[in-house]
A and B are shown apart, each in its own frame.
Chain A
Amino acid sequence: MKSCLVVDDSRVVRKVARKILEELNFACTEAEDGKQAMETCAVQMPDAILLDWNMPVMNGIEFLRRLRKMSGGDFPKVVFCTTENDLAHIQEALSAGANEYIMKPFDSDIIQTKFAQVGLL
């Protein structure tokens, strides 16, 4: 079973995403912001990270840049999942090391397709 860290400051979004990912057979953990996500990754790198952009304390892009510099931080497949839906943000995310990008709102089909495209399914 693969693991996925769901990082989003919205409890509702985490709950919905978690349900979808568990149906896709992922073992999920959650973080409310980038700092919490860093702490989780420092203990154990997940196979996948579903990552919001706008969060308090540490936002998603800052987290991703730090993650990719960590030892083993190039391992997780990172899929952004955010309301930021413009080309400039998408390009910034890809430059920072994102593997895929989901523009909210999302559904199970979109998550499944994107996770399959980066080889997680």
Chain B
Amino acid sequence: MRVEDFDMFSTLLKQRSGLVLTRDKAYLLESRLMPVARKWNMKGLEELAITVRTRKDEALLRDITEAMTTNESSFFRDQKPFDQFRQLVLPRLMATRAAKRSIRIWSAACSSGQEAYSLAMILNDEAAKLAGWRVEIVGTDISAEMVERSKAGVYTQFEVQRGLPITMLVKHFKQNGDKWQISPQLRQMASFREWNLLGDLSALGQFDIVFCRNVLIYFDGPTKGKVLEGIARQMPQDGVLYLGGAETVLGITDKFKPVDGQRGLYSLGGFSTGP
């Protein structure tokens, strides 16, 4: 790929999704954009680059952005965050919200929906305690394709074996050939919307718990700051933000503080693990 084409694509992706691509990632750009070029009946990436420069076709730009945004996900990914959710975060927030009996959870950059549905499975386990509560899970992703996949809740054999205990598969999925679809009951617990984390988040409303894991790692410092400040505006003081294992707020924003003794959990200041 020509250097000027790489620079043009990386600038475009930074503007549209916040994704930062260094030149050592040229192979990634090539491997992901070739299928886009083929879909649009182009000979290769040079023709794709020329078309992008000369014709600002929104559908094409969207295909390029979607092809490059990483869609790695699995059920109960890393496990520990979900144990923290079940054992600490959910009980705490239920205690402080006993009067209004409502909890909203956001799976930001939800990819194909496994995180949102993992939370739905935990909430289903806790259904007796949550009787009379209004619990809402909202998943958002920049990719329209991923949002549609999340809504459908259909996964391959490979996907349902990554992180999902077999008892959960039996309990919550229906088999259809070589695919597995999550039950209507769990699908009703989560809604999915196409949303760009760099855009205005206010219309999404306030969230008590935000999962934004393994998203910031793709952004540069200022973009990380912008995303975190945007999320902070959508959370109450005692809300809880989950980041990925390789991510932190330190040096990026002073809005969030680490939750004592709970790696990966952050709060605006009002969430306490004490008695």
Same complex for A and B? Answer: yes
In the complex, the answer to whether A117 meets B165 with C-beta atoms within 8 Å is yes
Chain B residues 163 to 188 lying within 8 A of chain A, measured CB to CB, are: 163, 165-167, 169-170, 175, 178
Chain A residues whose CB sits within 8 angstroms of the CB of B79 once the complex forms: 116
Q: Does B161 contact A (CB under 8 A)?
A: yes
In angstroms, Cα B165 to Cα A85, docked, is 15
Measured CB to CB, the closest approach of chain B to A99, in angstroms, equals: 8
In the complex, the answer to whether A86 meets B166 with C-beta atoms within 8 Å is no
Measured CB to CB, the closest approach of chain B to A3, in angstroms, equals: 22
Measured CB to CB, the closest approach of chain B to A97, in angstroms, equals: 13
Measured CB to CB, the closest approach of chain B to A16, in angstroms, equals: 16
In the complex, the answer to whether A90 meets B162 with C-beta atoms within 8 Å is no
In the complex, the answer to whether A91 meets B170 with C-beta atoms within 8 Å is yes
Contact with B along A84-108 (1 / 0, CB 8 A): 0111001100100010111100100
Number of interface residues of A (CB under 8 A): 18
Q: Does B71 contact A (CB under 8 A)?
A: no
Measured CB to CB, the closest approach of chain B to A72, in angstroms, equals: 24
In the complex, the answer to whether A87 meets B175 with C-beta atoms within 8 Å is yes
Q: Does B157 contact A (CB under 8 A)?
A: yes
> Can you pick out 17 interface pairs between chain A and chain B where the beta carbons lie within 8 Å of each other?
A85-B178, A87-B170, A87-B175, A90-B166, A90-B169, A91-B170, A94-B167, A94-B170, A98-B166, A100-B165, A103-B157, A103-B161, A110-B161, A110-B162, A113-B161, A116-B79, A117-B165
Interface residues of A, Cβ cutoff 8 Å to B: 85-87, 90-91, 94, 98, 100-103, 106, 109-110, 113-114, 116-117
Interface residues of B, Cβ cutoff 8 Å to A: 79, 157, 161-163, 165-167, 169-170, 175, 178
